[in-house]
Structure 1
Amino acid sequence: MPFARLATATTPTCHIGLGLAAIGRPGYINLGRDHDLGEDRSVEALRGRTHELLDAAYAQGVRYFDAARSYGRSEEFLADWLNGHPEADDVVVGSKWGYTYAAGWSTDAERHEVKDHSLAAYERQRAESHALLGDRLDLYQIHSVTPESPALTDKELHVRLAEAAERGLTVGFSTSGPAQADAIRAALAVTVDGEPLFRTVQSTYNALETSAGPALAEAHEAGLTVIVKEGMANGRLAAPNAPEALRAVAEAAGVGPDAVALAVVLRQPWAGVVLSGAATATQLASNLHAAAVDLTDDQVSRLTALAEEPGVYWERRGQLPWH
């Protein structure tokens, strides 16, 4: 298991990874990207920004980088960086298949991603990921599994994924939507020849959306590595959008609201890797302060009260504009 390298890391940021959703394409739903990235969203501009961010992450001890076929050119940018940094052989690389990027490098496309969890989509995107990342790809995840996803019942797909696992690729899945807990539990029941298929799960969990917590604890107990995404709720928990309770705790701790938001996730005993979705090196440095935040019971109680009903949270997320 490549994640054993994270478990034995000695840096204080060993449990924080870097997700490339916000930096690998010109349009995304994170709040504040207009300020973060400015007007130049050309391929070369974002390639340069991605490389600067990866440089900063690696220098500060981050060792897990997370991409996806649908994150624009994130795999390409990451592959370029890896090829130029042979010393970074301790990096663990994850990517995802199941969505195709469809925006044509535009911020105002009608559709930015097209979902397809079929066997044919897996084979096509696996070949695309391999062409870019080769043997550097450690973890391949089904992107955004929901309870009705055919990826949970397609036996031929399961066999192909198991074959990839036998060749050394770690197989996982990610979840999205108000029924994340149901999707996680359904995926835990997927087996091939009596053996569990999945070794990792990546889910949304943050101070506003905590509904997947019990199921993620079950996944951890079953031996899966849990990766947490969207710990800052696509910017809703970062300054200047953070709720008053979060800003007050952050002021008392002497850090930014983003660090407190990620600290809430890091304190969960089942959280193996918590992703920073930073778009700039400054944001990343602020995010990494989360490892040093020690929340009191009273502060935790105040932050727990921020949780929304899953349906409300995901409806609001679905209304965030691509920009």
Structure 2
Amino acid sequence: MPFARLAAATTPTCHIGLGLAAVGRPGYINLGRDHDLPPDRSVEALRERTHELLDAAYAQGVRYIDAARSYGRSEEFLADWLAARPALDDVVVGSKWGYTYTAGWSTDAEHHEVKDHGLATYERQRAETDTLLGDRLDLYQIHSVTPDSPALTDSKLHARLAEAAAEGVTVGFSTSGPVQADAIRAALAVTVDGEPLFRTVQSTYNALETSAGAALAEAHDAGLTVIVKEGMANGRLAGPHAPEPLQAVARETGLSCDAVALALVLRRPWAGVVLSGAATVAQLASNLHAPAVDLDEDQVARLAALVEEPGAYWARRGQLPWH
């Protein structure tokens, strides 16, 4: 693991990170946002909510925070929080470039974000991130790499990313879509001067979508830190939305569906950091019970039956409304 602050940690919740996708902007695709966020979704209201979550996460042992240029003002909110707490030098900060936020702080914009993995976008967004996070940035990831992404073949971009790595920023990538495994394996083959370029990979993996598992294990074996996103399947594995087999296992364990869903991911030996996408402090507290969930083999087998075909999973995800 490139982040010694995480590798050396012993707090059970330390390897659960907090992702800011759900609170850095007023609109997102997670289920239940009408109840999770206040009616006032002004910049200041979501700044306050983000800071509440960050305070609660840090107090309970969370040390990895995940943002992105396209998560509205997530980097700004995080930067404000860090600036007010300069003594917190054990927080590991990751962000992503490659999508531009275009919703204008609206929940009903025609397009909420625009993807571009070109060198010019990297240069612009890296400058924007540096302005906000400066030397607090530990990890910079290409956002949602797919097998056809030009970021996998652009040697000039690779050279600039290698320069960032030489300056101390860990370089990684995230993936999305039904062929995540292909994207991961293609990225593992990217080298600069004979050395692998990427040190981390962030992919979707949950009880419904497990298709990237083998490739993530390969990435782990190659020395990359694996960060798991969307462990709650954008809310499909939480509370009233959870399928009955998950609800049954939750009842048996005496814990919540979300804790069980995240515990299933934490069982994977390659999972370095598993992200919570909590939008409320109560959700975060519930997520952080995941390390305490002790699943037996029968329960794991019953949950394995929930797996969906990747194309169907991603088609349904693509139909989730921004709200």
By the TM > 0.5 criterion, same fold? yes
Instruction: Name the amino acid aligned to 2:106.
Output: S
3-state secondary structure, aligned to 2:239: coil
Amino acid at match of 2:146: T
Matches within 5 A, 1:1-323: 2-323=2-323
1:38 Cα shift? 2.7
- Partners of 2:80 and 2:321 lie apart in 1 by 30
Q: Is the partner of 1:240 in helix, strand or coil? A: helix
Deviation at 1:172, TM superposition (A): 0.0
Give the 3-state SS of the residue equivalent to 1:62 in structure 2. coil
**What letter is aligned with 1:22?**
A
**What is the distance in 2 between the residues matched to 1:305 and 1:216?**
21
Query: How far, CA to CA, are the matches of 2:194 and 2:94 in structure 1?
Result: 26
Q: Please, which moves more after superposition, 1-10 or 116-125?
A: 1-10
**Equivalent-residue separation in structure 1 for 2:278 and 2:87 (angstroms):** 23
- Residues 125-180 of structure 1: CA distance to partner in whole angstroms, max 9, x if unpaired? 00000000000000000000000000000000000000110000000000000000
- Divergent runs of 4+, >2 A: none
Q: Deviations over 1:277-301 (max 9, x none)?
A: 0001100000000010010000000
The separation in 1 between residues aligned to 2:80 and 2:240, in whole angstroms, is 34
Distance 1:302 1:207 in 2: 11
Unaligned runs of 5+ in 2: none
Deviations 1:86-139 (A, max 9, x none): 121100000000000000000000000000000000000000000000000000
Identity in percent: 85
Assess if the C-alpha contact under 8 Å between 1:152 and 1:187 holds in 2: yes
Query: How far does the alpha carbon of each residue in 1:216-247 deviate from its partner, in whole angstroms, 9 at most, with x for none?
Result: 00000000000000000000000010000000
Q: Distance in 2 between matches of 1:22 and 1:298?
A: 33
Tell me the TM-score normalized by structure 2. 0.99
The number of residues matched between the two structures is 323
Gaps of 5+ in 1: none
**One-letter amino acid of the structure 2 residue matched with residue 51 of structure 1:** H
Query: 1:2 Cα shift?
Result: 4.9
Secondary structure of 1:13's aligned partner? coil
* Counterparts of 1:313 and 1:161, CA distance in 2: 32
Looking at structure 1, the residues matched to 38 and 86 of structure 2 have their Cα atoms a distance apart, in angstroms, of: 31
Residues 146, 183 of structure 1: 8 Å contact kept:
yes
For the 8 Å contact 1:7–1:14, the answer to whether it is kept is: no
Give me the whole-angstrom Cα distance separating, in 1, the residues matched to 2:125 and 2:116.
10
Shift of residue 316, structure 1, vs aligned partner: 0.1
TM-score, length of structure 1 as denominator length: 0.99
- Offset, 1:259: 0.2
How far apart, in 1, do the equivalents of 2:7 and 2:86 lie?
A: 22
